């Protein structure tokens, strides 16, 4: 009998609460022990809601010697001494950073709490001096070196990204503050910083050059996230219930979880992981949905993309990035890809060892379609609540073989564009066509091409296969002729479904579809639509 009362740790970021309150726990303590006993200091970059806070809380409990919390876990067999160390835990995640005074106050508040326990020097006036003083006195008074844990070190920087003067002040403050960890090395047992991004060494971490960035290390690729083995071992009862509710077999349920939430790879040869937040919410709600994407919108990422004039088609199909871009990244519009990767919207797909180049892509369908649905209003006038309506109508019209209705709706779609939007480059329209057909692929079999020698788009429905060619500042006749000349139909002629070729003419003068021609079955039908 399936136990429906098992507790899923959604939103629980404290290791003590998980263990004392009987929440399910995916055991990462072997990796915790390995890190704690093989080096310092560390830095780990992972997307939001991937368990970074829980990881630091686990380190805190371990270094406080709380053996009882680790009963039955892997670390219990590894650790023999269970020593207690002074722990300074700084969490920057939950605050709003909108002024230099705000950041100063938050850091000062933490220091005040630590000083109440370990004392304060009269000549310690700056934040960095006070931090150094606390670390030194904590070590001297306890006779044990200090553990420093900093959660979401970059939260102030991310919130100030669109305000360069504020960003500069935050950068200077944090550079001096975090730089203390190098000066205080002789007093430190362990130091660990987490965040979403890795800013360039010349900014925040320039004084902390001994920091070990383990974000792409093979050994710790699975320290945050859930592997497939962990998913099926820990959550099988919940998966079975989800499958029953969704009318899926157990195997089909795991496959659907994989399609939606798996795919994050933090080392080319490492094991992939599921998004833990989406997994837990799907199991709790007993419904597949876009949980991770709904909790935060990448507005600043879209703005970076638009500032950089980045071709979204390249991003969506998969993009290349050098390994150096991840270690020396500076947050600006010149190269937005590393930040998009570190934020969790892209992941490693392949790695070319010879040239040290990563190929990046969307990790799963939740992120892929969530991202495209989110960016669509930035490029089109479609209101948030009408995206699925438009896409759904497009699909229904093609499934019924109503090409004129499809093209009419597409023309109405472009007619709503503002003059300002239509002043963009030609590629702008190509991107919009691309987004529309890509989003159709969420509900039917649709492919969009950007490479030479292939049709612009192919849509497969139960009865029809449509081959589209769009001509910007060209003619619909030329589009149809290109389909014939290039043999775009050939791969689909033996399929058994009716093949339809569609040529669409996009006018530069009207900034809209002007004519659409289509050819269906064995006869040629020319339709002058507009």
- Which run of H or of E encompasses 512? strand 512-520
Indicate whether 326 belongs to any domain: yes
311 and 426 within one domain: no
- Band of residue 525 on the pLDDT scale cut at 50, 70, 90: very low
Residue 187 lies in a domain: yes
pLDDT at 202: 42
β pairing state of 457-460 and 464-472: antiparallel
Q: What is the pLDDT of residue 529?
A: 36
Instruction: Express each pLDDT in 202-252 by its tens digit.
Output: 467 766 777 899 999 999 999 999 999 999 999 999 999 999 999 999 999
pLDDT surpassing 70 at residue 384? no
Residues with Cβ within 8 Å of 218's Cβ and at least 6 positions away in sequence, in order, are: 267, 269, 270
Q: Is residue 165 part of a domain?
A: yes
Q: Are residues 331 and 191 in the same domain?
A: no
CB-based contact 46:52 (threshold 8 Å) = yes
Residue ranges of alpha helices (H) inside 184-235 are: 228-234
Specify the pLDDT at position 423: 44
What burial class does residue 93 get, using C-beta atoms within 10 Å of its C-beta: 0-12 exposed, 13-18 middle, 19+ buried? middle
Domain check: are 207 and 305 in the same one?
no
Is there a single domain that holds both residue 36 and residue 184? yes
Q: Write out the DSSP string of 94-150.
A: S----SHHHHHHHHHHHHHHHHHHH---TT--SHHHHHHHHHHHHHHHHSS-EEEEE
User: Strand 319-322 relative to strand 347-352: parallel, antiparallel, unpaired?
Assistant: unpaired
Q: How far apart are CA 49 and CA 7, in angstroms?
A: 18
Indicate whether 359 and 385 sit together in one domain.
Answer: no
CATH of the domain at 75: 3.40.50
516 pLDDT higher than 70: no
> Is 45 in the same domain as 100?
yes
Residue 191's closest CA among 335, 307, 347, 86? 86
Band of residue 522 on the pLDDT scale cut at 50, 70, 90 = very low
Residues 338, 447 within the same domain = no
**Among the listed residues 289, 267, 259, the one whose alpha carbon sits nearest the alpha carbon of residue 277:** 289
Which pLDDT does position 336 carry in this prediction?
79
Lowest-pLDDT choice from 63-67, 72-76, 516-520: 516-520
- The b/e string for 421-431 (b: 16+ C-beta within 10 A; e otherwise) is beebeeeebbb
* pLDDT score recorded for residue 365: 94
pLDDT the model gives residue 44 = 95
What contacts 182, CB < 8 A, 6 or more positions away? Answer: 207, 208, 209, 210
pLDDT at 203: 63
Same domain, 76 and 100: yes
H or E, element range at 168: helix 164-183
pLDDT (tens digit, 9 = 90+) per residue, 459-507?
A: 999 999 999 988 877 788 888 889 989 989 988 988 989 999 998 887 7
User: Measured in whole angstroms, how far is the alpha carbon of residue 318 from the centre of its chain?
Assistant: 14
Q: What percent of the chain has pLDDT over 90?
A: 55
Per-residue pLDDT, averaged over 76-83, amounts to 95
Note the helical H segments in 217-345: 228-234, 236-246, 250-261, 276-285, 291-294, 299-308, 312-317, 324-327, 337-342
pLDDT digits (tens, 9 = 90+) for 37-57: 998 899 999 999 999 999 999
Same domain as 138, residue 89 = yes
Q: Is the same domain home to 418 and 346?
A: no
How is residue 448 written in tokens? 């969009």
Q: What value does the mean pLDDT of the chain take?
A: 86
**Mean pLDDT, rounded, for 400-428:** 70
**In a domain? residue 117:** yes
Q: Is residue 65 predicted with pLDDT exceeding 70? A: yes
Q: Which of 321, 338, 365 is the last residue of a domain?
A: 365
Residue 101 has pLDDT above 80, yes or no: yes
For range 152-177, the mean pLDDT? 89
Is residue 27 pLDDT above 90, yes or no?
A: yes
194, 216, 238 - which closes a domain: 216
Pairing of strands 347-352, 357-361: antiparallel
**Per-residue model confidence (pLDDT) at position 329:** 52
Please report whether residue 121 resides in a domain.
Answer: yes
Residue 470: its H or E element: strand 464-472
Does residue 185 share a domain with residue 107? yes
Domain count of the fold of the chain: 3
pLDDT of 297 higher than 80: no
* Buried b or exposed e, range 76-89, using 16+ CB within 10 angstroms: eeebeeeeebbbbb
216, 244, 278: which is the final residue of a domain? 216
Query: Same structural domain for residues 165 and 45?
Result: yes
Rounded CA gap, 422 and 432, in Å? 11
506 in any annotated domain: yes
Instruction: Flag whether 3 is in a domain.
Output: no
Q: Are 387 and 376 in contact (CB under 8 A)?
A: yes
Summarised one tens digit per residue, pLDDT across range 108-146 is 999 999 999 999 998 999 999 999 999 999 999 999 999
Residue 17 forms part of a structural domain = no
* Domain extent at residue 347: 299-365
Q: Are 348 and 371 in contact (CB under 8 A)?
A: no
Mark 116-150 as b/e (b = at least 16 C-beta within 10 Å): eebeeeeebeebbebbbbbbbbbbeeeebbbbbbb
Query: Would you say 458 and 467 are in contact if contact means Cβ atoms under 8 Å apart?
Result: yes
Contact 437, 395 (CB under 8 A): no
């Amino acid at each position: 009998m399936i136990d429906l009362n098992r507790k899923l740790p959604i939103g629980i970021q404290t290791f003590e609460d998980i263990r004392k309150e009987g929440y399910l726990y995916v055991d990462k303590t072997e990796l915790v022990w390995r890190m704690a006993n093989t080096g310092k200091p560390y830095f780990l970059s992972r997307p939001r809601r991937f368990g970074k806070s829980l990881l630091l809380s686990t380190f805190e409990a371990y270094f406080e010697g709380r053996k009882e919390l680790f009963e039955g876990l892997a670390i219990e067999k590894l650790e023999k001494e269970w020593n207690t160390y002074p722990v300074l835990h700084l969490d920057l995640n939950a605050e709003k950073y909108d002024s230099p005074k705000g950041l100063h106050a938050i850091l000062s508040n933490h220091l005040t709490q630590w000083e109440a326990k370990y004392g304060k020097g009269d000549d310690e006036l700056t934040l960095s001096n006070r931090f150094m003083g606390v670390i030194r006195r904590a070590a001297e008074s306890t006779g044990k070196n200090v553990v420093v844990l900093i959660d979401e070190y970059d939260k102030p920087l991310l919130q100030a990204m669109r305000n360069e003067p504020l960003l500069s002040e935050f950068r200077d403050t944090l550079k001096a503050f975090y730089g203390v960890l190098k000066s205080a090395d002789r007093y430190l047992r362990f130091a660990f910083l987490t965040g979403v991004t890795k800013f360039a060494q010349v900014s925040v971490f320039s004084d902390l050059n001994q920091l070990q960035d383990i974000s792409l290390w093979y050994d710790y690729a699975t320290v945050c996230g859930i592997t497939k083995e962990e998913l099926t071992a820990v959550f099988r009862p919940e998966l079975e219930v989800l499958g029953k509710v969704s009318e899926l077999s157990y195997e089909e349920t795991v496959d659907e979880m994989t399609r939606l939430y798996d795919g994050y790879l933090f080392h080319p040869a490492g094991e992939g992981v599921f998004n833990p937040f989406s997994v837990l919410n799907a199991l709790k709600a007993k419904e597949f949905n876009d949980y991770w994407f709904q909790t935060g919108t990448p507005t600043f990422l879209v703005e970076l993309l638009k500032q950089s004039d980045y071709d979204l088609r390249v991003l969506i199909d998969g993009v290349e990035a050098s390994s150096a871009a991840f270690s020396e990244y500076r947050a600006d519009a010149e190269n937005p890809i590393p930040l998009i990767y570190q934020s969790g919207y892209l992941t490693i797909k392949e790695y070319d060892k010879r040239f040290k180049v990563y190929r990046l892509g969307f990790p799963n369908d939740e992120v892929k379609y969530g991202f495209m649905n989110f960016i669509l209003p930035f490029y089109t006038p479609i209101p948030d609540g009408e995206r699925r309506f438009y896409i759904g109508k497009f699909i229904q019209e093609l499934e019924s073989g109503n090409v004129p209705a499809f093209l009419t709706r597409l023309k109405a779609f472009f007619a709503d564009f503002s003059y300002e939007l239509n002043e963009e480059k030609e590629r702008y329209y190509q991107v919009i066509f691309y987004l529309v057909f890509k989003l159709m692929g969420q509900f039917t079999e649709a492919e969009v091409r950007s490479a030479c020698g292939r049709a612009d788009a192919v849509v497969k429905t139960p009865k029809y296969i449509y081959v589209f060619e769009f001509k910007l500042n060209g003619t619909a006749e030329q589009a149809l002729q290109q389909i014939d000349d290039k043999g775009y139909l050939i791969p689909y002629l033996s399929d058994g479904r009716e093949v339809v070729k569609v040529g669409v003419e996009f006018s530069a003068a009207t900034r809209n579809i002007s004519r659409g021609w289509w050819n269906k079955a064995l006869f040629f039908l020319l339709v002058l639509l507009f």
